[in-house]
Structure 1
């Protein structure tokens, strides 16, 4: 699943636009306007913003440049022109054609991207075979953290999530989730990222993952592996493995259990 996410339209656009190591000149120009947009929001103290605000916040801002970067190779246009399934092409429909909305959409993706990369690493390292519920829940939690750190940016465009997050949820749904439904679910998530899944996915409400319990289980597994590798404390190591397996099963059922101290 992480392979499909890594090859999303948003990821392909970013790779193509940023160039090798993010050094493409056009990408550097875009970054300057993304940063200016973020600064303009902070200066205004409101999610209401227009292109002139961004140009004023940019050290060398020009209206012509602001228009050019969204007209030539913008993300929303990329969704419309790429040969992709219709469900993902419709993601562009959430972004009006005006330059300010195009810039807002790209700035959201830019600011959310570090969290997305951390989420992908987590899926790959800790949940390589994660079911839809787990992967989607973690995505919603990462999105909730982003909203908390960027409240003004997140509030623009009626709270529309970053386009890459919408696409990721559609990909996780494997054809069972439309872009519109993905937006609805992400907008309806609780402050900690609690998601309530639709009946068509066969999911009920998903509890927030107990990360302290997961970390505790991982510690027990690491300790047991170390003991077994050293040929020492085999009985104790097997006890740790048994308790870790038991608690993993409990977490999958939605409960928690504590191993003996």
Structure 2
């Protein structure tokens, strides 16, 4: 790892100022991706600005039919939160499937979606639930936020403050994990929102990152059951392919995990 300067920000304005004063600074949350990248010398920021001590970035609350989750809230807290487990069990379950205990106690929801790793769980969770991402500048729907492989709509000095997640009528998340890393080789969030709309989001499989499956959404809107998606296939042309699984295998997993997600939702 190359030498770097480490500072803690006390507020959002302080974080933006510290980043602006750095030659090549990066915001740091749980560090589950950034620090590993630095250790491999694939990244060498001159400064790290730690966001985890900013009070307004932590905590979980319910406001009517919406859950508000601070960006610096770690996965373990989301998994065990009474507010999340009672309102959106599928989201709590998703958080409990991330990595191992060390990762769940360090990694944050904001860091996960800001990195937008193609195999991360939260992008599918938030896209499937129709969440909104709130930053220090604006509010973005999940459809607007996730723009491609490791890419988001965030500006360089933009900080995720919280996510707001509408409480669905029902939702389920299922994934096929890589046995070593526990990253999703394919993960699917299927949700029926209270306005009657249906959303199906897939992570771990697409070559351009998280994506929705309109054909499955239309089928489930007419008939919410695993059978409704059983015959719907996605094209292997747009799937990832690596030593862990071919594009054709991941395309098959999308249908399998979608069926399981719908069944889990009830």
TM-score normalised by L of structure 1: 0.32
| Max Rg structure | 1
Higher helix share: 1
In the superposition, the TM-score normalised over structure 2's length comes to: 0.32
